[in-house]
């Protein structure tokens, strides 16, 4: 089973930078907060200390998550000429059957970010149905309310 996480070069570089920042500056700052809170006295009733320890736990969880993402990352480079079908890293415009509105999604990891475009996981039911489809195709996916038809209006990078 392939556990690689497909990421754009931009997202990968951003995650590596965030990981580096958290493991250096972030850890130093949280250690200072904990030390300052300890100086306030009794730790059992010290709200600042408990808040700092909770923040430390969340940050360490993020560091572990980023390390796993970086380790399993597969860089996906797409250009407009090579995108003929829906694949991870592309932007797809879709229309649900019976609806006039066109919705636009970036197919990829939640760690990908593009201004004004929602993310759709390629592992979601609709994402799985869209992978490999071309412009003008209609795909069927199983929604909680039953099967739904979705038209692929446009594929872009």
For 47-100, what is each residue's pLDDT tens digit? 889 999 999 999 999 999 999 999 999 888 776 566 788 988 889 999 999 899
Tell me what pLDDT residue 42 has: 78
CATH of the domain at 42: 1.10.287.180
The Cα 14–Cα 60 span in angstroms is 18
Q: Provide the H-helix boundaries in 9-148.
A: 9-21, 27-38, 47-72, 125-130
Number of domains in the chain: 2
Same-domain status, 70 and 36: yes
91-144 pLDDT, tens per residue?
999 999 989 999 999 998 888 878 889 999 988 999 999 999 999 999 999 988
CATH of the domain at 151: 3.10.50.30
Pairing of strands 138-143, 146-156: antiparallel
Q: Which of 29, 45, 75 represents a domain boundary (last residue)?
A: 75
Same-domain status, 70 and 90: no
* Domain containing residue 110: 81-156
Percent of the chain scored above 90 by pLDDT?
61
Q: Token pair of 82, please?
A: 């090579």
Percent of the chain scored above 70 by pLDDT?
96
């Amino acid at each position: 089973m392939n556990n690689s996480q497909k990421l754009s070069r931009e997202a990968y570089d951003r995650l590596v930078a965030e990981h580096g920042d958290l493991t250096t500056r972030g850890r130093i700052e949280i250690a200072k907060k904990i030390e300052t809170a300890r100086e306030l006295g009794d730790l059992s009733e010290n709200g600042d200390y408990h808040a700092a320890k909770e923040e430390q736990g969340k940050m360490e969880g993020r560091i572990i998550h980023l390390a796993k993402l970086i380790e399993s990352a597969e860089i996906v480079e797409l250009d407009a000429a090579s995108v003929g079908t829906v694949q991870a890293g592309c932007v797809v415009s879709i229309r649900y059957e019976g609806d006039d509105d066109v919705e636009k999604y970036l197919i990829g990891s939640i760690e990908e970010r593009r201004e004004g475009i929602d993310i759709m996981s390629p592992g979601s039911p609709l994402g799985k149905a869209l992978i490999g489809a071309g412009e003008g195709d209609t795909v069927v996916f199983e929604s909680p309310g039953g099967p739904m038809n979705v038209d692929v209006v446009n594929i872009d990078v």
